[in-house]
Each structure stands twice: as C-alpha cells, then as structure tokens.
Amino acid sequence: MSGPALLASLRTLFRDRYGRPPEVAAYAPGRVEVLGNHTDYNEGWVLSAAIDLGTYFVCRRRDDGACRLLAGDVLEEAAFDAAAPAPSQTHAWSNYVKGVLAGLAADAPAPHGFDAAFLGNVPLGAGLSSSAALEMSAGLALAALYGRAVEPLRLARIGQAAEHRFAGVKCGLLDQLTSLHGRDGMLVETDFRTFAVTHAPLGPEACLLLCNTHARHALVDGEYNRRRAACEEAARHFARALPHPVRALRDVTPAEWESHRAGLPEETARRAAHPIGENARVREGARLLAQGDAAGFGRLMYASHESSRTLFENSCAELDAVVEASRRVPGVYGARLSGGGFGGSAVVLVHPRDAATAAAALAAAYGHRFGRPCETRVLAPSGGARLL
C-alpha cells in the first residue's frame, strides 16, 4: 500500500474506532544500513539511508489521563495510564510507544492522555527498523500533541531509551537518527561520537536492492546485547593497553588491535575486530562515494559482510547465500547484511539498469537453495521523519 493510501486507511481506522478524526499525524521512515555494522554504539561512523517505507502515527488528546493505542495492522488495542506507562508482555508492540511517552514525560509530565493509532509498510523482521519508524513517528506526533519542541538528537535518544528500557534491545542511535535525517537520493553519514550528520549522494550509477530472506530476525533474543558487551569489554582492555585515551573501539586502529590484542579472550578479540575494521571501511567508503566510485564502494560492502560472517558472527546461512549469489550477477557492485544481523535482509549495490534482472537472479538463486524465493525490491533513499 502506498504512503497516501496508508494514511487515508489509518485515518479511517482511527475515526471508526474512536468516533472522531485525529488531531495530529506524523510519518517516519525505516532505514537501511549501507556500510558500518555495529559501529554506532562503538562511537564510530555509519553510512545509511532512510527508505521509502515507513510508519504513520495519528493521535488526538483526551480529557482524562487514559491512553488507547491501536495497532492498525493487527487491529489490537493497548490501554494504559499516561502518568505511568509500563512495558507490556501481552502487547509487546505497544512498548515502543510507551517508551517514547515515558521519555517525553521525563522532560515534563504528560498533561493528559490520548487516543492514537499507527500503520506502516516497513516489513517486520526485515532489518529495516520498523521499531525506530514507530518510535520517531510517535515521538513527533505526541510532542506536537503536548505542544513541545524536541530537538532531533533528543528525540533519537528518547527512541533509543524506549528500545533499552521497554523492548530490551541495547541498540545504538543509528536507526533513530537515520529516520530523522533522511534526504531524497542521499546516504546519511553519521559520526556517532559527535552526532554530526552529513549527506552523500548515492549517485546515478548505483541503486540499493533489498533482499529480504524472511529468516527470523529477533534481536531481543540476546545475541545483539552479547555482541555489544564484548565490544565494551574489548574497549576497556585497549584503554589499559594503549598509550592514548580509548573511550570506545572507535579509538582503536586495526594495527593497534593486531599489536595489543594479547590478553583478550579469542572470541572477544574477534568481536572487537569487526567494528574496528568497519570504521576504517566507512571512512574509505565516504571517500569513494565522493569520487563516484561505486565499484570500489561495493568491494567494501563485500569485505564488511565477510567480517560480519567470520568475526562478529552475526550473519546466517540465508544472508550468506544472497551475498555469495550476488557475486555472480552482472551489474552488482557489492552486497552485505544490513542492520543487527542474525536474519533479516541483505542490501545489494547494483547499477540501476541491472536492478530488475539482478532481483530476479537473486530470488531464483535463493529459491533454488532454500525452496522459496527471497523478497526483493529497490529501496529509494528518501526524506526523513516529519509532521504531516
């Protein structure tokens, strides 16, 4: 369903359920991570893009403190008190909005409750951060409903806290910041130490092809959190071992990892090598994009996936199959897993003239291996979250 059709459908759902039209509407896109895997919480760099898939959130104030939240896709409703939002076991999808409400209330208590509903077209479990799209659309809408101005970085942090405290995923700020700072035709380059955001044109010789494997993608199972803990352990080790300050793995070069890894458990050392190498690849990738070198950028994507597969071990057989098959497809520059990993989607960099044939070839190769084709679609780097 297209964006305008989604919004029209959501407004109808809201009016049918609550008897009145919504007062506020907001939209936020999902995101695709193009280069820079698990570097955000290591204070490094990432190249990403907001995409042309997202979530709409509409709401209306109530005269009491009650909140009613309708999930438009499953037509389930969660009810809670605006003054005391708490994580839910029965309606886990509501936790992202409850977490955002709690974050806004930390600045000033919510003066009243609301009726709200949301609906989106970001595929769930595809590694495109449907959760951040919901958080940022809810944050923009609820802030407007309460008459508050919230700076983008503050709103991103509120979304991150919702993930940490209400959903149980120790994510960085990549998803939220990309959703907020997307721009048509551009990649978002973020420095996760300073949170400076710039934009880099993808260029006319390349486009992004998503291959959704539908392999189970559940970061709340704990693998994501264990990888983050390993990175933090390694950063403490290098802070003791190196003669200069180390606040995060961003401060460690590949050469320093090689010369000072002794004393780290082997698995922890391998985990640390991944974001350290990724930071170097992102910096080189930004340089290649500026030169219009799509082929060189694609080679970095392949190197990134191999690092994910062998060092960070956050890939899976389905993602590996897509990346390996892409090496044999004309017009493809590079491919890698996107997002936290452990399932979900691969992103493929391909010349636009070859996108359709590449999509068909990858779907067929995947189907031959696993008995069903993967879902493919071209993703357009798009504008960021906004009030409507």
**How high is the mean pLDDT of the chain?**
94
- Assigned token pair, 370: 């696993």
Whether the pLDDT of residue 320 is over 60: the answer is yes
| CATH topology identical between 3-200 and 202-379 | no
| Helix or strand (DSSP H, E) at 13 | helix 3-18
Q: How confident is the model at residue 216 (pLDDT cuts 50, 70, 90)?
A: confident
pLDDT digits (tens, 9 = 90+) for 253-265: 999 999 999 999 9
List the 207-215 sheet strands across, edge first. Answer: 332-337, 344-350, 207-215, 375-379
Nearest to 139 by CA among 99, 181, 172: 99
Marked catalytic residue, from 40, 175, 251, 293 = 175
What is the structure's pLDDT at 236?
98
Q: If you average pLDDT over residues 205-232, what whole number do you get?
A: 84
Class of CATH domain 202-379: alpha beta
Q: Is 89 helix (H, G, I), strand (E, B) or coil?
A: coil
What is the structure's pLDDT at 5?
92
Q: Is 194 helix (H, G, I), strand (E, B) or coil?
A: coil
CATH code 3.30.230.10 for 3-200: yes
Q: How confident is the model at residue 217 (pLDDT cuts 50, 70, 90)?
A: low
pLDDT digits (tens, 9 = 90+) for 135-175: 999 999 999 999 999 999 999 999 999 999 998 887 779 99
Domain ranges of the chain: 3-200, 202-379
Q: How confident is the model at residue 221 (pLDDT cuts 50, 70, 90)?
A: low
Q: If you average pLDDT over residues 269-285, what whole number do you get?
A: 97
Nearest to 80 by CA among 51, 54, 108, 100: 100
In the block, tokens 């709340």 appear at 220
Say if CB 369 and CB 316 are below 8 A apart. no
Nearest to 41 by CA among 230, 206, 220: 230
73 is catalytic: no
Whether the pLDDT of residue 25 is over 70: the answer is yes
Whether the pLDDT of residue 27 is over 70: the answer is yes
| Whole-number percent of the chain with pLDDT over 90 | 88
DSSP class of residue 314 equals: -
Alpha-carbon gap, residue 307 to 204, rounded angstroms: 28
Task: Give me the sign of the Cα torsion angle 385, 46, 128, 203.
Answer: positive
DSSP 252-290: --HHHHHHH-TTS-HHHHHHHHHHHHHHHHHHHHHHHHH
Whether the pLDDT of residue 220 is over 50: the answer is no
Say if CB 45 and CB 198 are below 8 A apart. no
pLDDT digits (tens, 9 = 90+) for 236-256: 999 999 999 999 999 999 999
What is the structure's pLDDT at 224?
81
pTM: 0.90
What is the structure's pLDDT at 339?
82
